[in-house]
Amino acid sequence: MSSVETQPEDTFAREVAERLLPRLGGRVPQQAIEEEARQTYRSLSQGARILDFIPILGERDLFLHFRNAPAE
């Protein structure tokens, strides 16, 4: 097992990118989704007392952010 622990935002970024890639039709690179997802997670979790809804809210926010993105 690796000595480096995965941060919650990294797990969120990877999982949301895997779910959004097919929905976005490949128009947005996985790396771009993951970077934006990390920022979104940090923004939503800052000062949050309950973290349970961050994945749902974050994924929705990211989908809306990227849904009209032109193909890269």
Ranges of each domain in the chain: 8-66
Average pLDDT of the chain to the nearest whole number: 91
User: 11-45: per-residue pLDDT in tens?
Assistant: 999 999 999 999 998 899 999 999 999 999 999 99
The SS3 call for residue 9 is helix
Q: What does DSSP assign to residue 53?
A: T
Selected residue with higher pLDDT from 52 and 70? 52
Question: Among positive and negative, which fits the CA dihedral 4, 19, 26, 72?
Answer: negative
pTM: 0.84
Residue with tokens 């007392």: 49
Residue 1 has pLDDT above 80, yes or no: no
pLDDT at 2: 52
